[in-house]
Amino acid sequence: MKPFNKSTNTLIAICASSCLLISGCSSSDKSPSRNALSNQQQSPDIGVTQTEISGNVIKGAVKNADVYFYSLGDNGVSKTPFTNTKTDSNGAFSVTIPSSTLSDAVYVEVQAAADGSSQMICDAEICGSSSDGEDANGNGHIDFGELVNLSDDFRLSGAVTNFKNSENLSVSVTPISHLALQRAKRKGKLDADTINNEMNELAALLNLPATLSQLTAVDITRLPAGDPALDSIRYSLYSAAIAGYAHNHKLTLAAALKKIDEELFGPNGEVNRDLLLELLRLAQKSRREAGERK
Q: In this structure, is residue 31 part of a structural domain?
A: no
**DSSP track, 228-252:** --HHHHHHHHHHHHHHHHHHHTT--
The pLDDT value recorded for residue 44 is 54
Contact predicate 146/133, CB 8 Å: yes
The pLDDT value recorded for residue 26 is 37
Rounded Cα–Cα distance for residues 123 and 242 (Å): 9
Return the C-alpha torsion angle 224, 227, 232, 236, nearest 10. Answer: 50
Per-residue burial over 104-125, b = 16 or more CB atoms within 10 Å of its CB, e = otherwise: ebbbbbbbbbeeeebbbbbbbb
The pLDDT value recorded for residue 70 is 96
Rounded Cα–Cα distance for residues 166 and 225 (Å): 28
Rounded Cα–Cα distance for residues 48 and 131 (Å): 48
- Cα–Cα distance list, 268 to 4, 53, 272 (Å): 10, 36, 11
The pLDDT value recorded for residue 39 is 46
The pLDDT value recorded for residue 37 is 39
DSSP 3-state of 28? helix
Contact predicate 240/286, CB 8 Å: yes
Cα angle 161, 162, 164; round to 5: 110
Q: In this structure, is residue 91 part of a structural domain?
A: yes
In the chain, % of residues over pLDDT 70:
82
Q: In this structure, is residue 281 part of a structural domain?
A: yes
The pLDDT value recorded for residue 33 is 37
The pLDDT value recorded for residue 48 is 83
The pLDDT value recorded for residue 250 is 93
The pLDDT value recorded for residue 73 is 83
The pLDDT value recorded for residue 290 is 82
Torsions phi, psi for 262 (to 5 deg): -75, -25
Full residue range of the structural domain in which residue 137 is found? 38-293
Amino acid code (one letter) for 88: D
The pLDDT value recorded for residue 11 is 36
The pLDDT value recorded for residue 45 is 56
Rounded Cα–Cα distance for residues 215 and 217 (Å): 6
Q: In this structure, is residue 16 part of a structural domain?
A: no
Q: In this structure, is residue 8 part of a structural domain?
A: no
The pLDDT value recorded for residue 77 is 92
Q: In this structure, is residue 86 part of a structural domain?
A: yes
Pairing of strands 166-173, 51-57: parallel
Q: In this structure, is residue 214 part of a structural domain?
A: yes
**DSSP track, 138-179:** -SSEEETTSEEEPPTT-EEEEEEES-TTEEEEEEEE-HHHHH
Q: In this structure, is residue 14 part of a structural domain?
A: no
Which residue numbers in the chain have pLDDT < 70? 1-47, 226-228, 292-294
The pLDDT value recorded for residue 1 is 52
Structural domains in the chain (count): 1
- Write out the E strands in 12-154: 41-42, 51-57, 62-63, 66-73, 76-77, 83-86, 92-97, 105-111, 119-121, 126-129, 133-134, 141-143, 147-149
Rounded Cα–Cα distance for residues 173 and 100 (Å): 23
